[in-house]
Amino acid sequence: MPKVLISDKLSPRAVDIFTERGVDVDVKPGLSPDELAAIIGEYDGLAIRSATKVTRDILDAAPNLKVVGRAGIGVDNVDIPEATKRGVVVMNTPFGNAVTTAEHAITMILSLARQIPAANESTQAGKWEKSRFMGTEITGKRLGIIGCGNIGAIVADRAQGLKMRVMGYDPYLTPENATRLGIEKVELDELLAQADFITLHTPLTDGTRNIISADALNKTKKGVRIVNCARGGLVDEMALAAALGTGHVAGAALDVFENEPATDNILFGMDNVVATPHLGASTTEAQEKVALQVAEQMADFLVKGAVTNALNMASVSAEEAPILKPYMVLGRQLGSFLGQVESEGLQSVSIELDGKAAVLNPEPIVASTLAGLLGPVMESVNMVNAAAVASANGIAVSTVRHDRQCDYETLLRVTIKHASGSRTIAGTLVGGDKARIVEVQHIAVESDFPAHLLYLRNYDKPGFIGDLGTLCGKYGVNIATFHLGRRDVGGEAVALVEIDGELPDSMLGDLRALKQVVRVDALQFQQ
């Protein structure tokens, strides 16, 4: 039974979901890094929020870890590149708190426009400073949204309901989606120059860090108001403090800070700053949603192989998983065949899908094929990291889906190019789920993927089968099945011979010495 550790505070209902779906679960919030490292090796999955830091040291101590699930959007506390190297899936729940965070951003905009926090503090102190708190209407004002993904789109919708004019900057926002969302798509400099309010809803990356910099603030119109409910580090806090001090920026509302917990910050104490302690996702509804979602996603992955909202591999829905699984096995075995035969100097991999295979989600099949191909020569390669390993080693990967008639109901062909040429193999599914070879080097030949397989390339000459049988008898090697194919009479041929057990090294030498044999490989396949 898979085993999961919940190391941060989650809804108790998450435990019920894990248990109901056949996953053993322990709840141990508040562990120190050393305490977590001491026990994480026992677990297949780790469910977290923002408190637990999944660092390289934690991953070093987690040889059995298969998945990390973050109940929430941000994964700054997870070393995703290191997790990917180790084949650990990293999931988040991008939709569970989207509405809550968007509502918080809208609340911050309204609070900032009407100076509500400062007015509340003044009034409760017994003052009546009506003339001090002159606000501004938001109706008709231009709202600039930086990052128009899930949360940004909801903010745009709510802002339009408040009669704001919405513009957005997002390199991934298509003109069609912008039109659908009612967002005027602009470049960043145009947004900075025209917006009355700017709200940030983008991840923190090398490209977005300090996107609101001193230079960016200099490009904004005088009196702009800045809202950040996304990630600390998107705003240069020193530059913002300076712009607030001169009055160029009329106000700022921040829910996130570069260093958290933020108990001391250069922006604190400024009259034109509204600050909250990272409350964007802090509603009862949102916390319940993300906890349940992360439990469902992790359980489905560990039990069914479904991959949802993963940040470092292709998604596979629970409905897709049983359909894709035999194709992923076929791809892995075809890749393993080629990886064992030709492991040096790989330059490119082409994966072609024909028939029924052509209409499936190709990414999991490609990932499984690459894992099979690279596994024989590289340590710790699996579906999660195979594409990254291929890229890091300069191996180009292409996928082709054919819309054409096929000799088989479904077909998968893998072709590799290497320093000295190319190799290809094709396979199909028999009975819907049994992987079978149907072609090697464009020569028709059929075979299963047994635990032990002799692959021979030879010339189609009399005596070859007799010589092979004689050697097998000499070394006490039993032939289980025997499959032959040839290109033409007397020409190049292929033999796929299933044997019972491993082949003695000395026999391989004798086989290679046969005059009809071009090459021999002893292959093994995971069953």
Which entry of 278, 332, 413, 457 is annotated as an active-site residue?
A: 278
Which amino acid does the sequence have at 448?
Answer: D
Domains 3-94+285-300 and 98-275 share a fold: yes
26 - beta bridge partners?
5
Given this model, what pLDDT does residue 390 score? Answer: 87
Q: Check if the beta carbon of residue 162 is closer than 8 Å to that of residue 140.
A: no
Length of the chain as a residue count: 527
Given this model, what pLDDT does residue 381 score? Answer: 83
Given this model, what pLDDT does residue 265 score? Answer: 96
Structural class in CATH, domain 98-275: alpha beta
Residue 452 among the catalytic residues: no
Distances in Å between the Cα of 273 and the Cα atoms of 177, 247, 399, 521 are 33, 12, 52, 71
Q: Check if the beta carbon of residue 213 is closer than 8 Å to that of residue 249.
A: no
Sheet containing 452-459, strands listed edge to edge, beginning at the edge strand earlier in sequence:
479-486, 492-499, 452-459, 517-524
Which entry of 20, 260, 319, 502 is annotated as an active-site residue?
A: 260
Listed by start position, the domains of the chain span 3-94+285-300, 98-275, 315-440, 450-527
Which entry of 231, 332, 413, 457 is annotated as an active-site residue?
A: 231
Residue 258 among the catalytic residues: no
CATH topology for the 450-527 domain: Alpha-Beta Plaits (3.30.70)
Q: Check if the beta carbon of residue 71 is closer than 8 Å to that of residue 294.
A: yes
Given this model, what pLDDT does residue 413 score? Answer: 95
Given this model, what pLDDT does residue 435 score? Answer: 94
Given this model, what pLDDT does residue 444 score? Answer: 93
Rounded to whole angstroms, the maximal C-alpha distance in the chain is: 108
Given this model, what pLDDT does residue 322 score? Answer: 87
> Between β-strands 346-355 and 197-200, what pairing exists: parallel, antiparallel or unpaired?
unpaired
- 21 closest CA partner among 42, 45, 41: 45
Residue 486 among the catalytic residues: no
- With tokens 């819309």, the residue in question is 403
- Mean pLDDT of each 10-residue bin along the chain, 527 residues long: 95 94 95 96 95 95 96 88 91 88 97 95 94 94 96 96 97 92 97 98 91 98 97 96 97 96 94 94 88 94 89 81 91 94 86 92 91 83 84 89 83 91 93 92 94 91 88 91 89 91 86 88 89
Q: Which CATH superfamily is domain 3-94+285-300 in?
A: NAD(P)-binding Rossmann-like Domain (3.40.50.720)
Given this model, what pLDDT does residue 393 score? Answer: 84
Q: Which CATH superfamily is domain 315-440 in?
A: D-3-phosphoglycerate dehydrogenase; domain 3 (3.30.1330.90)
